[in-house]
Amino acid sequence: MHTPMNKYELNDSHKKTIKEICESFGNKHGELINILHRTQEKLGYLPEAVQNEIALNLDMPLAKVYGVVSFYSFFTMTPKGKYPISVCLGTACFVRGAERIVETLEEELKIKVGQVTEDGKFSLDCLRCIGACGLAPVILIGDDVHGRLTPDMIKGILKQYK
């Protein structure tokens, strides 16, 4: 699990991590997307304080950083679960019943898309096409791909994650 973070205030170790990431990309404005990727990978998500710290390090407007974060659906401002679940809603998955998969996951986990379970174990999100259309419909749990799904398979799959 990632170190818990206050949404609005960062401790020195978080600040140091962000500074190092920015420096590793030469503090270049053009590297903002890479910096955000790496930061999210390290800290789990990109709350206000993290974006502000990145803006200060790169000496660029916070509005610009938030502009990028809010544009790409990959970036998240809310913490993710231990096992983040992403349901593909690309064309192929969609026509093969991805919507019913989402509904089943919502019922099983008792959360809505964009939320985290109370125990912090699972979070649920949707994305567009992961390029595994042959396996449609597909979900990602962490880095694992589960394909050719039907709603009745969901319960068993979730059980594999402790």
Chain residues binding other proteins by CB under 8 A are 48, 51-52, 55-56, 60-67, 70-71
- DSSP-derived 3-state class of residue 103: helix
Residues 87, 21: Cα–Cα separation, whole Å: 29
∠ CA 159-137-131 to the nearest 5 degrees?
110
Least Cα distance to 126 among 118, 135, 134, 111 occurs for 111
Nearer to other proteins, 7 or 28 (CB): 7
∠ CA 124-46-10 to the nearest 5 degrees?
130
Nearer to other proteins, 7 or 155 (CB): 7
The nearest distance, CB 84 to other proteins, in angstroms, is 21
The nearest distance, CB 149 to other proteins, in angstroms, is 28
Nearer to other proteins, 9 or 107 (CB): 9
Nearer to other proteins, 46 or 139 (CB): 46
The nearest distance, CB 54 to other proteins, in angstroms, is 11
CA quadruple 109, 40, 59, 22: dihedral, nearest 10: 170
The nearest distance, CB 8 to other proteins, in angstroms, is 11
